[in-house]
Structure 1
């Protein structure tokens, strides 16, 4: 079960920063990014044994308010490979659909084949653009879209 984060709790913020640093190093979000996203965007977490083991953050696109942009997703190293990240993404996208979101957009490192496979094969995202030097020289990003209306409601069977 995922949870929408609605309150600013220092311990939770600290854990989210820890997950972000583990996943993205210096490029991860800190409390200065997470607090506004909690207040003005959507931040969902997934827990295991009461411990937050993953998080995903979304913000709205001002030019297309029915589109949510996935700012980031991070899963604790200890639980990777068990499907919790896919579950977090699936359930958070279904929650966004309840908020009348029609499309989800994300960017991913085009060399991150594992993430791209999850986005395409398990969630239905489609690559729509390659942005060269998006975060600086050599930091390319693959843009992917998911039309929420086409999103599979039921989890895939293994």
Structure 2
């Protein structure tokens, strides 16, 4: 298995963009970033894609926080169904955190569903994220989120 990670910057890579949008849609449904949103994220945020044998297997997006220039928001981390539980999420998060730090980012924040124990374990136990707060109905009724953050 050959694993590669790259920063996606070219909005003309239509096939790759369509594949990662599909991964996002499969994972998050209505809450997924669509094609147009992803293109804007390429221009104004950071997007990293992890490939397995040349096929996109996951992605991670970051946005810089406008009111705190040294902070970023991890918008999404998702690994495609057929590639989960192989350590790819850890590889992608480790790689991307090192990259965002080079942009002067000192703190990264994210939201996660309180019931998503696997993601919470990854963030807290493997990468040192700490619980900052709990937001009831963050994305609408019944869509609570735990806010986690890490100092880089």
Displacement over 6 Å in runs of 4+? none
Corresponding residue for 1:109?
Answer: 113
Counterpart check, 1:5 vs 2:8: yes
Q: TM-score, normalised by structure 1?
A: 0.91
- What SS does the corresponding residue of 2:10 show, helix, strand or coil? coil
2:34 is the counterpart of 1:30: yes
**How many aligned residue pairs are there?**
148
Separation in 2 of the partners of 1:61 and 1:147? 14
Gaps of 5+ in 2: none
SS in 2 for 1:59: strand
CA distance in 1, matches of 2:66, 2:91: 27
Query: Is the contact made by 1:107 and 1:141 (CA closer than 8 Å) also made in structure 2?
Result: yes
- Asked whether 1:119 is paired with 2:100, we answer no
Question: How many angstroms apart in 2 are the aligned matches of 1:141 and 1:82?
Answer: 26
**C-alpha RMSD of matched pairs (Å):** 0.8
| TM-fit CA distance, 1:99 | 1.0
In structure 2, distance between residues paired with 1:136 and 1:117: 24
Identify the match of residue 19 of structure 1 among 15, 18, 23: 23
* CA-to-aligned-CA distance 1:55-110 (integer Å, 9 cap, x gap): 00000101111111011111011110010011101100000111111011000001
TM-score (norm 2): 0.95
Asked if structure 2 preserves the Cα contact closer than 8 Å seen for 1:134 and 1:141, the reply is yes
SS in 2 for 1:106: strand
The DSSP-based 3-state class of the residue aligned with 2:42 is helix
Task: Decide whether the 8 Å contact of 1:53 with 1:79 is kept in 2.
Answer: yes
